Amino acid sequence: MMLSDADIGALWLTLRLATTVTILLLIIGTPIAWWLSKTSSPFKGPVAAIVALPLVLPPTVLGFYLLIAMGPNGFIGELTQSLGLGTLPFTFWGLVFASVIYSMPFVVQPLHNAMEAIGERPLEVAATLRATPFDRFFTIVLPLAKPGFITASILGFAHTVGEFGVILMIGGNIPDETRVVSVQVYDHVESLEYAQAHSLSALLVIFSFVVLLALYATQRKTSNVGMMK
């Protein structure tokens, strides 16, 4: 399996993108999931629907509207330009922003389910011991929701690695800047370089298989712990 310098560059860029996006999604998704699991606000339904929207929207549609929003005349583009950051399309950080939006439900939903499964009893017991909300979250919620965090991290990372439509719409095909593995495979196929396309595709197939194994192992372990309790 021979990889060119361009292939290796695409792999490293993909890993960098997926790692950055996963970290940001955990930071952003955790308070959203916690709020969704506890609130009785009438805004819960609309917020949950917005978070889950990328699950049903075609990637090109989502990519198109993000491209408009981040463009020179879009509200995000005007904001970034006013901050001296320029515009985000066709940059690495544009890919990061789009990927965070696109992969959000794959992180928020596992976290939401894990936090909702904790119930109120452990938090009420901690409250009787005068634990502050901050203490209860970090000493009760985070440890008990650990399987959800593992699942969310795996799904968020894997989903970002496999992105194509949104990436192509927002980032185009710029070497070492926006050309990730999925775009590199597309380039090889367009150029009729099937051997190179096969090499990269095989790596993605192996990666996907390993991710699914890890996910099933996590779920099985969680189920076994639940039955022991």
- Least trusted range by pLDDT, from 8-22, 188-202, 204-218: 204-218
Q: Is the pLDDT of residue 228 over 60?
A: no
Is 17 contained in some domain? Answer: yes
Is 118 contained in some domain? Answer: yes
Check residue 227 and give its pLDDT: 45
8 A C-beta contact, residue 29 and residue 108:
yes
Is 30 contained in some domain? Answer: yes
Is 55 contained in some domain? Answer: yes
Closest CA to 75 of 87, 64, 60: 87
Check residue 122 and give its pLDDT: 84
Is 23 contained in some domain? Answer: yes
| Degrees, nearest 5: CA angle 84-88-90 | 135
CA distance 45 to 34: 14
8 A C-beta contact, residue 229 and residue 37:
no
DSSP single-letter state for residue 74: S
CA distance 174 to 223: 44
Task: Name residue, tokens 């310098």.
Answer: 5
Is 39 contained in some domain? Answer: no
Check residue 211 and give its pLDDT: 83
Is 229 contained in some domain? Answer: no
Residues of the domain holding 97: 5-34+44-223
Within 8 A by CB and 6+ apart from 79, the residues are: none
Average pLDDT, the chain: 88
Type of residue numbered 71: G
Is 228 contained in some domain? Answer: no
8 A C-beta contact, residue 79 and residue 97:
no
Domain count, the chain: 1
8 A C-beta contact, residue 182 and residue 164:
yes
Within 8 A by CB and 6+ apart from 85, the residues are: none
- Least trusted range by pLDDT, from 116-125, 141-150, 174-183: 116-125
Q: Provide the Cα torsion 124, 107, 56, 16; round to 10°.
A: 170
Check residue 207 and give its pLDDT: 85
Q: Where residue 62 sits, what CATH number does that domain have?
A: 1.10.3720.10
CA distance 83 to 94: 15
